[in-house]
Amino acid sequence: MFQSSHSNRRNRPAGQTLMARLKSDAAGSRRPWWVRALIRTGLLAVFMAALGVGGWWVRDRWVYRIPSLAIREIVVEVDGVLAPDEVRRLAGIRLGRNILSVDLPGLRDRLQLHPRVASAKIVVEFPGTLSIQIRERLPVAAVEPLVGSGIKARYLLDETGHVIMPLSPGAAPEPAIAAEAALPRITGRGTVSPEADADTLAALRFLRAHSLRPEGALPDIASVSVAVPGLLDVTTLDGATIRFGGEPTSLDLQLRRWSDLRATLAASGEKRAIRTLDLSVSQNAPIRWLESSPEQPATAPASPQTRPRLKRIPRRTHV
């Protein structure tokens, strides 16, 4: 029996013996899994560091020094009162800088920090032109809130309620300064808090809707009072007081009723002028007429009074 066992071992194929020894050696030298993971992580970190250093070297020592990618021209487009030189100063980009080295999102965000900038768009035109396009906020109303001490602080609001400080003399063309000084006033606010509340936003929506009516269809607005919550008391340049109210969506309808009434009065030859009109009443709006002395009959104004208006005037400069 023992002889048969020895004979079986001697007759075992050589390949099987070698395979068994290799498996035994591999099992004995195998490292723990966490050691293998640590080695792989270290090798990957070394590779990524080498790749980053190499990329930095290529970028700073080669790409950023390519003469054909230097900024040769900065184009500034504005549509309001900002001076192109001021936009270039805010941008802080000098001629000759590599165009690929400009942080475009950072430049856009920096320009949009200016209180008069609504949006900024940066366009790279290869090989060497950087275009900066600025859309400004257009103020639609001035606010002069009353303070307990009697001091008044004046600031401007665009149609979204964003606060804009008035232009100082010499900071912009005279027509723009005059147009801002003549903006309709929002009155009836008892604090200097610049945050636009619901009634102030309603007044801004009204002024925006009014500006979209055909020119001459309605008189210009002198002021909008928000003293009564939910109601807007509008004073025109010709002395009329019109009350608006209700849902914000009804402002267009009330403006149309006002415009239609004026057109009807003009077509009928009515010479009396409106003193007060309450359009917050949906049916049979109360109306009072401007009274006159017996010696001087009431007549409608010969021509509507108008004010200078702020307009978007696209300007494009090259440097």
Mean pLDDT computed over 141-170: 78
pLDDT for 273 equals 85
Q: Which CATH architecture fits 67-136?
A: Roll (3.10)
Domain range annotation of the chain: 2-61, 67-136, 139-289
Is the full-model pTM beyond 0.75? Answer: no
Decide if 67-136 and 139-289 have a common fold: no
pLDDT grade, residue 16 (50/70/90)? low
Written as one letter, the residue type at 291 is E
CATH number for 139-289: choose from 3.40.50.11690, 3.50.50.60, 1.10.3720.10, 3.40.50.1170.
Answer: 3.40.50.11690
pLDDT for 242 equals 94
pLDDT tens figures, 249-286: 788 899 999 998 888 888 888 777 889 999 988 888 88
Q: Does 233 have pLDDT greater than 90?
A: yes
pLDDT for 65 equals 64
pLDDT tens figures, 39-89: 778 777 776 776 665 555 455 555 556 776 788 889 999 988 888 888 989
CB 233, CB 206: distance < 8 Å: no
CB 217, CB 206: distance < 8 Å: no
Rounded CA gap, 191 and 189, in Å? 6
